[in-house]
Amino acid sequence: MLTAKQHELIRFIQQRLEDTGISPSFEEMKEALDLKSKSGVHRLISALEERGFIRRLPNRARALEVVKLPEDAVTGSEKPSAANDLVGAAMPTKTVAPEPANDIIDVPLHGRIAAGAPIEAIEGQSSMPVPAALLGPGEHYALEVSGDSMIEAGIFDGDFALVKRTDSARDGEIVVALVDNEEATLKYLRKDAGRVILDPANGAYDPQVYDAHRVQVQGKLAGLLRRYH
């Protein structure tokens, strides 16, 4: 079942596509649903995408396609007959939209994280704009990288790590690992016989080995942003 906001959003997207052939921007969706931030829109879109109601068109951050509608999300002035029910049926042909500009999503910026010896992860109150095309489904946050232990993975001091929030990950994935509930680091995850091994991507650093209960996964790397001065 969809929530009321999910119903409202898919109706709004479908109506805009029918009227203009162009999917609405994140700002327009935020205003239409009376949400406080674009991150709320992103969560709703991700949920609809995961349930198969909409899909994002490749390489076009603003281009959304409604795959199917819930039974009560009928647009237009009249409800169609059963023979023309939109649920599970092919959607009407849409006008080809021009190539849209990228949408921007504000994600929380939670201070700095070590790519070296663990340092304290600072909970900040700020946010940073991120192109929506860089983020997939799920909730995300950003951390500024400090140190050089992940340079062989292409992660450098001063980069911004875009992290998908999760408490689990597979061996070989780059994760945000919280050690002893107070220090955080960005490393490859490896598990072995009740231990957690945090592997660097720099031959100058040794792996960090902890008892499994001391380490909590707080997210896994989803992307990077880099500033050039």
**Buried-exposed string 149-163: b where 16+ CB fall within 10 A, e elsewhere:** bbbebebeeebbbbb
- The DSSP bridge partners found for residue 145 are 113
Distance of CA 192 to the CA centre of its chain: 29
- The DSSP bridge partners found for residue 209 are 197
C-beta atoms surrounding 1 within 10 Å: 6
If phi > 0 it is left, if psi is from -120 to 50 it is alpha, else beta; for residue 130 that is beta
Q: Distance of CA 76 to CAs 11, 92, 96, 177, Å?
A: 10, 13, 20, 50
- Helices 38-50 and 4-20: angle between axes, nearest 10 degrees: 90
Catalytic residue list contains 149: yes
CB of 107 closer than 8 Å to CB of 162: yes
Candidate list 39, 46, 146, 149, residue with the active-site label: 149
DSSP secondary structure letter of residue 204: T
First-to-last alpha carbon distance for the chain, in angstroms, is 48
Tokens at 21, concatenated: 């052939």
Candidate list 30, 38, 164, 187, residue with the active-site label: 187
Show which residues are catalytic. Answer: 149, 187
